[in-house]
Structure 1
Amino acid sequence: MSSRARRYHRAVTLRPETSLAQRKRQLVATELTEAALQLFALKGFDAATVDEIATRAGVSKRTFFRYFASKEDVVVQFLAGMGADMRASLATRPAGEPLSEALRHVVSVPLAACGDHAERVLPVVRLILRTPSLLARFLEHQAEWREGLAEELGARLGLDPATDLRPRLAASMALAAFDAVLRRWSAGEGPQVGEAPEALIGEAFAVLAPALDGPAGTGP
């Protein structure tokens, strides 16, 4: 595994692997992702093929499809694990914490990780947001995240998301802030950005807090 790929792996893996098999699988996935990102940078997303990605990573096309369903999944997987991380983080927040504070923290953790590794994450975020097929796949992931957060918020608030709008509305507001911050952070063409994601998320939740906490601080 190249030193560049190892740096990539450390930068984007937010949860430790727990077995040798999982570590080996992550290494292959990382090599494929690294090869894909290099090709996309050289040729553009549409021009690069799965065959070229597999060849560059030193594996077969069949191996590629054991890890990813499509070229789009190679890129979007870069951020896909954030949804599970956000739900797990929400489950650990103190029960009496205002909803806006709990959700601000939950969304801040992955965004701070993006900001800490901007040189690797920023080109991928820009590629996702500017490529229609990638953006569509990313929005599918966000819809899954929304359901997971709504279920966790339902448990936290003692509400059933199937019959009460508040858990899903709160989850939607948090993810709208996440999406808005990603777009603002990645705006522009250069390798640098002017504002850190964690600062932007604080600004976003200052706007959302009154609606999330309500007059009694109990949520939307």
Structure 2
Amino acid sequence: MAERKRQLVSRELAEAALQLLARKGFDGVTVDEIAAAAGVSKRTFFRYFASKEDVVVRFLTDLGLGMRAELAARPAAEPPATALLRTTQAAMAACADRPDRPDHAARTLRVVQLILRTPPLLARFLERQEQWRRDLAEELARRRQVDLAKDLYPELAAGLALTAFNTALRRWSDSDGTEEAAGLLDRAFTVVAPALDAGEAPRPLDRN
């Protein structure tokens, strides 16, 4: 029960913070405002987050964890390009496609624009991207039964997939949401899919 309560408070704080940050900009929001919007004290805010920036980092961390979980759940026989497309589609949908929340895409678009246009947040985004690449590479190595330390394919494929995702995300942001996020991602993967599926055939792990 206590853990469920903690998760609920954390989600409410994150939701309040992202809404305010999206509406007023990073420098236009104080921790006091976030706490008041969530109906908690400033002291409670700092029990869950170290700073306003930390709220955005948590959003990015959750996005990356979702991608790794999605890739891990893809069928083993699925071609790499398909598996990675579905993986990044899940992340894009988390940003831009919530039928149960008509306002979700607009709010998340503003958050994405905030991240891409605020230097400290962009730096944290790029930092998180490196963790995403490592996580996806580890999953790809596991799927192909290769040694990540010896096989170049997993890291290169993870990097290509994230480049496609980033390109679609930036185009969606730059268009102010007028271009469809899912369509942009499909187009990006049309470009990189041949390289993703042209990797050398999987080989057994060297256990010696």
Q: TM-score, normalised by structure 2?
A: 0.83
Query: Mean Cα displacement is larger for which, 37-46 or 200-209?
Result: 37-46
**How many corresponding residue pairs?**
196
Contact kept in structure 2, 1:98 and 1:217, CA below 8 Å: no
Which of these residues, 168, 183, 186, is aligned with residue 181 of structure 1?
A: 168
| Runs (5+) with no aligned partner, structure 2 | 98-103, 203-208
Q: 1:67 to 1:149 in 2, by over 3 A?
A: same
Aligned to 1:166: 153
Quote the Cα distance in structure 2 between the aligned partners of 1:55 and 1:119.
23
Identity %: 61
Quote the Cα distance in structure 1 between the aligned partners of 2:64 and 2:95.
14
Deviation at 1:41, TM superposition (A): 5.0
Q: Aligned pair 1:151/2:138, yes or no? A: yes
Aligned to 1:7: none
SS at match of 1:209: helix
Aligned to 2:100: none
Deviation at 1:153, TM superposition (A): 0.6
Quote the Cα distance in structure 2 between the aligned partners of 1:121 and 1:43.
14
Aligned to 1:195: 179
Quote the Cα distance in structure 2 between the aligned partners of 1:208 and 1:51.
45
Q: Summarize the alignment of residues 62-141 of structure 1 with structure 2, pairs less than 5 Å apart.
A: 62-116=43-97, 117-141=104-128
Contact kept in structure 2, 1:76 and 1:128, CA below 8 Å: no
Contact kept in structure 1, 2:23 and 2:110, CA below 8 Å: no
| Runs (5+) with no aligned partner, structure 1 | 1-19
Q: Aligned pair 1:36/2:17, yes or no? A: yes
| Moved >4 Å (runs of 4+) | 215-218
Aligned to 1:3: none
1:204 partner amino acid? A
Aligned to 1:11: none
Quote the Cα distance in structure 2 between the aligned partners of 1:55 and 1:144.
33
Aligned to 1:45: 26
SS at match of 2:148: coil
Quote the Cα distance in structure 2 between the aligned partners of 1:47 and 1:195.
28
Q: TM-score, normalised by structure 1?
A: 0.79
Quote the Cα distance in structure 2 between the aligned partners of 1:119 and 1:22.
31
Q: 1:57 to 1:172 in 2, by over 3 A?
A: same
Quote the Cα distance in structure 2 between the aligned partners of 1:72 and 1:196.
28
Contact kept in structure 2, 1:178 and 1:201, CA below 8 Å: yes
Quote the Cα distance in structure 2 between the aligned partners of 1:215 and 1:22.
44
RMSD over equivalenced CA pairs, Å: 2.2
1:108 partner amino acid? Q
Quote the Cα distance in structure 2 between the aligned partners of 1:127 and 1:27.
25
Quote the Cα distance in structure 2 between the aligned partners of 1:185 and 1:127.
13
Aligned to 1:206: 190
Contact kept in structure 2, 1:185 and 1:195, CA below 8 Å: yes
